[in-house]
């Protein structure tokens, strides 16, 4: 066994937290291994695993956080996940073996497995193979994504994902670009496609005072979401400062250091805007 492979087989996976700063965990993985991993999905680059999550899909979840993201959200609480090489290289068969250990417990707790990030679809082949293997074990699968790379999944591959947690960061295209560095168009196209395919979706919206709380924008997003017909619920996620120290440690300019979490009244106002369109919002 090569030393590269040995590291992949022995790096500890379980019980870690996405709030732990992780850098350079794959710095010794060769370029050719990374290229092949992305083409085949034989290896995934994972930031961490969390057990017992109650907020990343129905029931109690095992969550794997992928490394690599093409967005640069101003409020990102895990900027160490932007770089895929910060994650640990995990062979697909090792990831599925971890899942099989938790399978029974996850089913008993009406939960399942959630792949989050970072942006999982940066590693779309790994996502498809891991989700397919998970579903074959009878475990509910959820994908938390910004949707920008949704076109990488075929219709048949989408069937392997029981629930999409779709993060729409902003409705207005200029605001979205300012907030994330990318266009909102591909995300909205993916939302429309999921609607056409009648795939279940939970919409996620991070609420930041003075950044993503524009009433008119939210009204338009809520109307769009309601028109899709497949949004089972909306999670309004209040901005928090738990990621600030990561920005500081990574030496990246953090522009939201003075921003407070939204007041309860603001969260309720935004939830009501979604509810006014007939959606369940929490």
Residue 178 in contact with ligand SF4, rule: CB under 6 A: no
Residue 281 burial (CB < 10 Å; 0-12/13-18/19+)? Answer: buried
Residue 152, φ and ψ in degrees, nearest 5: -70, -15
Query: Closest approach of Cβ 276 to ligand SF4, in Å?
Result: 27
Size of the site for ligand SF4 (CB under 6 A): 11
Nearer to ligand SF4, 87 or 103 (CB): 87
The alpha helices in the chain, defined as continuous H runs, are 3-10, 31-40, 92-108, 124-136, 155-158, 173-180, 185-196, 215-228, 244-250, 264-275
Is 78 one of the binding residues for ligand SF4 (CB under 6 A)? Answer: yes
Cis peptide leading into residue 118 (ω within 30°): yes
Residue 81 interacts with ligand SF4 (CB under 6 A)? yes
Q: Rule CB under 6 A: which of 98-117 touch ligand SF4?
A: 117
56 binds ligand SF4 (CB under 6 A): no
Minimum Å distance from CB 88 to ligand SF4? 17
DSSP 281: B
Q: Give the one residue of 123, 146, 160, 187 binding ligand SF4; rule: CB under 6 A.
A: 146
Count of helices and strands (H, E) across the chain: 10, 8
- In terms of CB distance, is 119 or 235 closer to ligand SF4? 119
Residues that bind ligand SF4 (CB under 6 A): 69, 71-73, 76, 78, 81, 117-119, 146
């Amino acid at each position: 066994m090569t030393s590269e492979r040995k590291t992949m087989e022995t790096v500890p996976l379980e019980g870690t937290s996405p709030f732990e700063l992780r850098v350079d965990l794959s710095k010794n993985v060769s370029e050719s291994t990374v290229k092949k991993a992305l083409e085949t999905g034989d290896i995934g680059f994972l930031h961490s695993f969390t057990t017992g999550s109650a907020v990343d899909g129905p029931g109690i979840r095992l969550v794997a956080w992928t490394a690599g993201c093409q967005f640069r959200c101003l409020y990102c609480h895990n900027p160490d996940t932007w770089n895929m090489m910060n994650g640990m290289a995990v062979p697909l068969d090792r990831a599925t073996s971890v899942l099989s250990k938790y399978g029974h417990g996850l089913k008993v707790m009406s939960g399942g497995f959630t792949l989050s990030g970072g942006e999982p679809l940066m590693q779309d082949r790994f996502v498809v193979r891991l989700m397919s293997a998970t579903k074959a074990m009878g475990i509910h699968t959820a994908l938390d994504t910004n949707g920008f790379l949704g076109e990488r999944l075929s219709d048949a591959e989408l069937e392997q994902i029981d629930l999409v947690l779709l993060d729409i960061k902003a409705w207005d295209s200029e605001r979205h670009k300012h907030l994330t560095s990318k266009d909102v168009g591909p995300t909205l196209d993916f939302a429309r496609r999921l609607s056409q395919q009648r795939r279940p979706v939970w919409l996620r919206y991070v609420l930041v005072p003075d950044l993503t709380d524009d009433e008119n924008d939210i009204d338009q997003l809520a109307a769009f979401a309601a028109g899709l017909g497949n949004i089972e619920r909306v999670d309004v996620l209040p901005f928090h400062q738990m990621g600030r120290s990561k920005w500081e440690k990574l030496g990246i300019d953090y522009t939201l250091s003075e921003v407070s979490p939204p007041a309860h009244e603001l969260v309720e106002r935004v939830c009501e805007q979604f509810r006014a369109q007939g959606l369940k919002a929490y």
